[in-house]
Structures are given as C-alpha cells and as structure tokens.
C-alpha cells in the first residue's frame, strides 16, 4: 500500500465507510494520516469520592470494605463490593464478571475509574476500571486521540483505520534532507505521524507535534515563496493619479469621524505603495473594531478615482452584504457603480455583473469566493482586497490577483500576531499595524457568571433594549451537527421572546439558514428592526452594528478564548458603554480561571497566549480550531520556535526544498 492509495485499500474499509471518510475530506491514505486528532483525553487525577458529583467521570482511590458478592440476576451475573475513602463510600458493580470474586480482598486499596451515579446518599459505579495505584500512575501518562468527525463516522472507526493504515503502510517517507533533520534534532516524519495518532506519553506527543508543526510552517513558507517569487518586484501597472491622491483628503474629510493615528498611517502607507514604481503587497493588521474597513475604503477610493476597478473579497455572504451596504453608501456621492457578487445572487444577476465587470461599467465588486470563479473577468482590475484574510488560503488569494497584471493587493487581518512572527508568515508582504481603537470607545464591561444568573442577564438586556440599544445572544452548537445547531437557537429565541413579550423583537440566525434569509435578518438587525439576535457563531467574523451593546454568550466554556474575544468584538463598536456576559455552565476552577483571562484583558494576543498556557500542551488545540491561519497543528502561539526554525531551514536548505503545491515533491 502507498500513501496515494484510495482509503478503500486499507483493510476493513469498504465503500460505505469510504463515503463517510470522504465526507470528512479524507479520500486517500495520506489524507487519513494527516487527519490529526483534534485533542486527547487522559485519565483524570484521583480525587476524594466525597467531592465527585453525579454523572462525573472520576477516578477514586478506595479501600474495599466488604466481601465481594456474586449473585445471579435474571440476565447477568452481578459481582459487587463496597469501597470507601473516608469521605464517602460507593458500591462497585460489574456484570458477567464472576471471576472478579477472587481478585479483590477486603482491606485492599485500588483506583476505581468510571462514571459515578448518585441517588440520595447512595453512590454506585457500574463496570469501573480497576488499577493498582502504581498502574494508575502509568495509565495517566497515556493519551487517547479524539478526532473531529462527521455524521456516521465514529472516533473508534477513525482510530482503528488509522492504526490499520499505519501497520500496512510501513515507513512514511521522510520529507526533510538528512542534514536538516540532524541540525534541528527533529523526530523523523514517520515516527511523528505514528506518535501523533498513537502517543505513548505526553512528552512523545509534544515532540511529534513539534515536528509536524514545523513541517506545516515550512510548507506554508515554501508556498508563499513560490507565489512571492513572481510577485516580488512586479512593476506597478496601476499607479494612482496625483489627482486621486489630492481628492482622497477630501474624501476622508467627508467622513463622520476623523481617522485614528493608526488608520492614518495605514492609509499613508497604501497611498505611497500605490503611487510607487512597484505593485502594492500590504497586510493591515488590527484588532477587532480598530476600523480596518475605513482603511480599505480609502484604498478603494484611490483605485476607482484613478480609473481602475477594485475587487473586495470576504469569507462569508453575510459579511459581503454588510460591506456592500456600507461601502456603496459611502461611495454614492462619487457615482461609482458597485455590485455584490455571492453564491446567493440569481443567475441573471450574476450574468449582469459579469458583463458589467468585463465592460468596465461596474467599478467595484464586493463578494465571497464566488469572485474567484473563472468566468469573472475584469476590464481593468487595479486593486484586490481580502478581508479576514486568514480564512483564505494563499492560493485563493492569488487567484484573484492573477486576473490581470500588476494588481495591488491589500490583506486585512484581526489575527493577533507579534510583528516578528507576522514578518515571517507574510514574508512577501509589507505590514501596517493599527494599534489603537477609535477615540471615545469605552472599555467593554465583562462578567463571567453561571446559569443561575440568566434571568438577571435577560433583564439587563431588556433594559438596554428599552434604552434604544440592541443585543446578541450566542448559543454554541451542541455537536458538529447542523440540525442540532438550528434547533438550539430557535428554541432559545422562542423562550426569550416569550419572556420579553411583544415589545421586544427577538429573531435568530444560524448557519443552516438560506443565504437570503441570513441576509434579510442581518439587514433587519442593522436597521434596528430586530432588538435581540439569537445566533450561533455565524456572526463571529466582521459583523458590525455599533448600536449593539450587549453580547451574552451561553456555554462560554465550550469556546476557545480567541473565539470568545472575536465574539466580544461585536459590541463596543460605538460610543455607548457595552457589556459582555459569559455564561458558564461548568463551575470547575480551571474553567473559571480560563474565562477570567477574558475578564481581565481586551488584548487579542495576550488572550491567545494565556489560553494556551492554561490548556497546556497535548490538550485541545482551541485556537487553531477557531480558524486562525490554515494549519492543522501549527498554531503560532504554541509553536513560535518551530516557525522561526522553519524560516531558518528554508533559508539554509531552500534550494533543495520545493513547495508541494508546485507539483514537485519536497526533497
Ligand atoms: P474592524 O477593524 O473590526 O474591521 P470596522 O472597520 O468594522 O472594524 O470598524 C468598527 C466600527 O468603528 C465601525 O462602525 C466604523 O464605522 C467605526 N470606525 C472606524 N474608524 C473610526 C474612527 N476613526 N472613529 C470612530 N469610529 C470609527
Ligand atoms: Mg472587519
């Protein structure tokens, strides 16, 4: 068997199973082996029995206080005994395991591990696993992989198939030159791939992840290099006119606010780039709410006033519509024709837009991936802007710039990355940072509370709405199943609406709704026809409604901190005091501490870093899951060192390494 084989080549995978794997994006053996676990579970620390709650999965160290009893039930033989640790006692029950009778003696101590059931004063564990104290210490070192799944695919199936593939495949070919491997002391690739799926202990997993993260960074840098090699030094065939530069001052003066220092600097950088002999390649980095859209608008104005067309690409349709509304409004006095192109527009409208773009009549198009479709041709495209750029791959971004020669590129990102790392990741880019938020913004007031606070929170929302403001309530998906996602939001909205009565208009939004429906809701929310919007995280990126002052997040413990920070960024976008209420279903100390970070900080980078420290290596990779840059393992916060090494390696061994996506294998 080889890596490129179809997954059906793995023993035990029939066509039916293969369909399930394909749905998860896995069609070859190689895909499977690179489907890394999204996290690991390990056996918990031993705790006093008295502290454990009903339904908890616990491990307890108990002394056996009764004889082992074996009795014949109707369907099973039942073996049971009682054990205690002084804080409480518990009945242990096993079915069809009479041989256990001779295993246990009164007075012996063991670690019992399983799910605790409590009824009144009576505690019971069914089918607990049993270890000696020493065995348990060892067991705690092992990690069980948890994979992200799609409907029909179980964790066990993935685990089993991966093990089978690993055993059939033999060694995975090494991707690094031998001297590089030696230089950096990395685990060989074959070993790393095995270890990430079947780690023996945490230390080994750490080394495997380090190696795989390094590879991902290296691959990314090679991709960028391959792409950048053409772009660098490309001549500027769309220079902005002197006139346009002069008129920009008037355009900016006509805005309802004056730019912050950071915005001014970014606009200056852009103006200089676009007037220079070389084409612009610039990244604007600024935390949520720092006003990046206005900066992009200045670039659009420059391009259009100089007689060129511009394209503005965003990751979601909802965001595309919002930008379209805002930007076409601002450009109205200048009579530039603008269009919105998403997957949701009708075929006739699409045709009209395509014609308009190729004739040059339409000057600005705002849209989603739909912009990348081949038939979209421009008459004279001079500027491409990508918002929330981390949602797009390097290849996708380029495809748009390839629709003409010498096109200026502007990327915008809210991903908090320190400058040194950004310079490595965006080696082909110049970077402008916007560090401050617009003047007059009040710091968002936060609180972390449990579910008993819900009625108070709802009351608070009612008051804010009565004062003319709006609110968001976020419900997480229970599972990665879309059906459930919609239901949660709908029933929550129903309940809320019942509580609030007719004077407060509640509506809902979730990922499964039709695009038109989503857009209609967002339009109504922006027009203040909806007071409270109950939503899943579809509103996470980019959404801007400065009149919204409350963000209430249910089950906040289920989100990564970086994601919570993004969600919180939806409020505090206007002058009014804003509030963020994190409702946490779980009281555990670790969880409280994690959420406290949000209470204490509004700085995206600080939050991301602390989140990782609190989770510790080998735990769920939270931040990466929230969609920051497109890596599987390599998040820049925990693998900063690997990123730096990848850059070093590329410089040192670069001529022997080739981007995979160029069709040639990496050495
Ligand atoms: P982000 O950087 O997250 O994309 P936006 O561009 O959506 O932020 O801007 C957030 C809000 O701040 C918008 O309502 C925008 O109109 C407003 N805004 C932008 N720049 C300024 C400024 N200089 N002064 C006041 N408000 C501003
Ligand atoms: Mg934005």
8-state DSSP, 578: -
* Mutation test residue for ligand 1: of 253, 286, 291, 385, the one with most atoms within 8 Å of CB: 291
How does strand 57-64 pair with strand 109-119? antiparallel
Query: Dihedral angle at the C-alpha atoms of 451, 454, 460, 463, nearest 10 degrees?
Result: 170
Q: For residues 515 and 492, what is the distance between their CA atoms, to the nearest angstrom?
A: 21
Q: What is the mean pLDDT of residues 222-230?
A: 72
Q: For residues 180 and 443, what is the distance between their CA atoms, to the nearest angstrom?
A: 48
Q: Is the pLDDT of residue 143 over 50?
A: yes
Q: For residues 394 and 372, what is the distance between their CA atoms, to the nearest angstrom?
A: 13
Q: What is the pLDDT of residues 597-613, one digit of tens each?
A: 888 887 777 787 777 66
pLDDT-based confidence at residue 531 (cuts at 50, 70, 90): very high
Provide the pLDDT for residue 162: 95
Asked if residues 247 and 377 have their Cβ atoms less than 8 Å apart, the reply is no
By CB neighbour count within 10 A (0-12 exposed, 13-18 middle, 19+ buried), where does 266 fall?
buried
8-state DSSP, 239: P
Q: What are phi and psi of 281, to 5 degrees?
A: -135, 90
* Pocket lining: 255 vs ligand 1, CB cutoff 6 Å: no
Provide the pLDDT for residue 557: 80
Please choose, from the candidates 141, 183, 220, 565, the residue with its C-alpha nearest in 3D space to the C-alpha of residue 425. 220
Q: For residues 342 and 322, what is the distance between their CA atoms, to the nearest angstrom?
A: 12
DSSP sequence for 472-527: EEE---SSS-HHHHHHHHHHHHHHHHHHH-TTS-EEEE-TTS-HHHHHHHHHHHHT
Q: For residues 196 and 621, what is the distance between their CA atoms, to the nearest angstrom?
A: 13
Q: How many whole angstroms from 650 Cα to the centroid of ligand 2?
A: 33
Identify the helix (H) or strand (E) that includes residue 287: none
Dig out the tokens for 299 from the structure. Answer: 């670039």
Strand residues in 128-263 grouped as ranges (E): 129-131, 144-146
Q: What is the mean pLDDT of residues 593-598?
A: 83
Q: For residues 558 and 579, what is the distance between their CA atoms, to the nearest angstrom?
A: 20
- The mean pLDDT value of the chain amounts to 86
- In this structure, the residue with its CA closest to atom 12 of ligand 1 is 291
Q: How many whole angstroms from 297 Cα to the centroid of ligand 2?
A: 12
Q: What is the mean pLDDT of residues 262-289?
A: 93
Provide the pLDDT for residue 317: 83
Asked if residues 107 and 59 have their Cβ atoms less than 8 Å apart, the reply is no
Q: Is the pLDDT of residue 455 over 50?
A: yes
* Pocket lining: 286 vs ligand 1, CB cutoff 6 Å: yes
**Percent of the chain, pLDDT > 70?**
90
Provide the pLDDT for residue 24: 84
Q: For residues 650 and 657, what is the distance between their CA atoms, to the nearest angstrom?
A: 7
More confident residue, 232 or 143: 143
Q: How many whole angstroms from 422 Cα to the centroid of ligand 2?
A: 19
* Pocket lining: 437 vs ligand 1, CB cutoff 6 Å: no
* Pocket lining: 294 vs ligand 1, CB cutoff 6 Å: yes
Q: Is the pLDDT of residue 578 over 90?
A: yes
Which ligand ends up closest to the CA of 526? 1
- In this structure, the residue with its CA closest to atom 26 of ligand 1 is 438
Q: How many whole angstroms from 293 Cα to the centroid of ligand 1?
A: 7
Q: How many whole angstroms from 292 Cα to the centroid of ligand 1?
A: 7
Q: What is the mean pLDDT of residues 107-131?
A: 92
Provide the pLDDT for residue 395: 64
Q: How many whole angstroms from 413 Cα to the centroid of ligand 2?
A: 8
Most confident of 217-226, 422-431, 550-559, 628-637: 550-559
Q: What is the mean pLDDT of residues 632-641?
A: 76
Lowest mean pLDDT among 38-42, 181-185, 220-224, 584-588: 584-588
**Percent of the chain, pLDDT > 90?**
47
Provide the pLDDT for residue 384: 93
More confident residue, 66 or 73: 66
Q: What is the mean pLDDT of residues 503-529?
A: 88
- In this structure, the residue with its CA closest to atom 9 of ligand 1 is 291
Identify the helix (H) or strand (E) that includes residue 431: strand 430-434
pLDDT-based confidence at residue 635 (cuts at 50, 70, 90): confident
Q: Is the pLDDT of residue 391 over 80?
A: no
pTM for this prediction: 0.71
Lowest mean pLDDT among 396-405, 427-436, 550-559, 578-587: 396-405
* Pocket lining: 436 vs ligand 1, CB cutoff 6 Å: no
Q: What are phi and psi of 403, to 5 degrees?
A: -80, 20
Find tokens 């009795």 and name the residue: 71
By CB neighbour count within 10 A (0-12 exposed, 13-18 middle, 19+ buried), where does 51 fall?
exposed
More confident residue, 265 or 376: 265
Find tokens 């069980």 and name the residue: 144
Q: What is the pLDDT of residues 323-344, one digit of tens each?
A: 999 999 999 999 999 999 988 8
Please choose, from the candidates 410, 338, 406, the residue with its C-alpha nearest in 3D space to the C-alpha of residue 367. 338
């Amino acid at each position: 068997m080889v890596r490129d084989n179809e997954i059906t080549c793995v023993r035990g995978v029939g066509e039916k199973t293969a369909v399930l794997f394909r749905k998860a994006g896995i069609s070859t053996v190689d895909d499977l082996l690179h489907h890394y676990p999204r996290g690991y579970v390990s056996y918990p620390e031993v705790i006093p029995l008295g502290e454990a709650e009903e339904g908890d999965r616990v491990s307890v160290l108990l002394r056996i206080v009764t004889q082992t009893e074996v009795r014949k039930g109707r369907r099973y033989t039942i073996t049971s005994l009682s054990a205690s640790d002084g804080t409480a006692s518990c009945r242990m029950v096993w079915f069809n395991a009479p041989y256990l009778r001779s295993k246990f003696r009164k007075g012996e101590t063991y670690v019992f591990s399983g799910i605790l059931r409590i009824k009144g004063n009576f505690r019971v564990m069914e089918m607990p696993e049993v270890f000696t104290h020493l065995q348990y210490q060892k067991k705690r070192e092992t990690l069980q992989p948890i994979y992200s799944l799609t409907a029909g695919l179980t964790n066990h199936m993935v685990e089993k198939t991966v093990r089978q593939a690993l055993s059939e495949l033999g060694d995975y070919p090494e991707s690094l030159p031998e001297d590089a491997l030696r230089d950096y002391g990395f685990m060989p690739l074959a070993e790393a791939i095995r270890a990430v799926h079947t780690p023996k202990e945490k230390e080994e997993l750490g080394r495997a992840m380090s190696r795989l993260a390094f590879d991902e960074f290296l691959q990314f840098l090679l991709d960028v290099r391959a792409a950048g090699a053409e772009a660098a030094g490309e001549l500027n065939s769309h220079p902005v006119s002197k006139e346009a530069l002069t008129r920009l001052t008037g355009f900016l003066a006509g805005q309802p606010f004056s730019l912050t220092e950071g915005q001014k600097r970014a606009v200056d950088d852009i103006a200089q780039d676009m007037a220079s002999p070389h084409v612009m390649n610039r990244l604007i980095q600024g935390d949520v709410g720092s006003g990046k859209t206005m900066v992009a608008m200045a670039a659009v104005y420059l391009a259009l006033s100089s007689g060129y067309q511009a394209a503005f690409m965003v990751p979601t349709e909802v965001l595309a519509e919002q930008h379209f509304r805002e930007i076409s409004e601002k450009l109205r006095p200048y009579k530039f024709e603008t269009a919105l192109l998403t997957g949701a527009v009708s075929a006739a409208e699409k045709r009209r837009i395509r014609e308009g773009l190729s004739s040059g009549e339409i000057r600005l198009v705002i849209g989603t991936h739909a912009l990348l479709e081949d038939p979209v041709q421009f008459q004279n495209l001079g500027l491409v802007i990508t918002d929330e750029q981390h949602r797009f791959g390097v290849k996708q971004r380029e495809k748009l710039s390839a629709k003409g020669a010498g096109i200026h590129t502007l990327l915008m990102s809210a991903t908090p990355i320190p400058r040194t790392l950004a310079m490595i990741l965006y080696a082909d880019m110049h970077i402008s940072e916007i560090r401050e938020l617009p003047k007059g913004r009040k710091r968002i007031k936060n609180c972390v509370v449990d579910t008993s606070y819900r009625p108070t929170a709802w009351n608070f929302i009612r008051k804010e709405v009565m004062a003319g403001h709006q609110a968001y309530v976020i419900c997480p998906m229970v599972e990665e199943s879309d059906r459930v996602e919609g239901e949660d939001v709908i029933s929550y909205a129903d309940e809320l609406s019942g509580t609030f009565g007719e004077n407060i208009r509640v509506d809902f939004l979730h990922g499964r709704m039709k695009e038109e429906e989503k857009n209609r809701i967002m339009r109504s929310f922006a027009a203040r026809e909806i007071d409270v919007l109950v939503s899943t995280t579809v509103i996470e990126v980019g959404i801007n409604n400065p009149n919204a002052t409350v963000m209430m997040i249910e089950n906040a413990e289920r989100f990564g901190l970086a994601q919570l920070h993004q969600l919180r960024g939806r409020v505090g976008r206007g002058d009014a005091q804003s509030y963020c209420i994190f409702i946490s279903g779980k009281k555990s100390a670790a969880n409280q501490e994690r959420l406290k970070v949000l209470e204490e900080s509004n700085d995206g980078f600080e939050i991301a870093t602390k989140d990782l420290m609190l989770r510790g290596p080998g735990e769920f990779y939270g931040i990466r899951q929230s969609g920051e840059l497109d890596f599987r393992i390599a998040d820049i916060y925990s693998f900063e060192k690997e990123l730096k090494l990848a850059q070093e390696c590329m410089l040192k061994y670069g001529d022997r390494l080739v981007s995979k996506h160029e069709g040639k294998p990496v050495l």
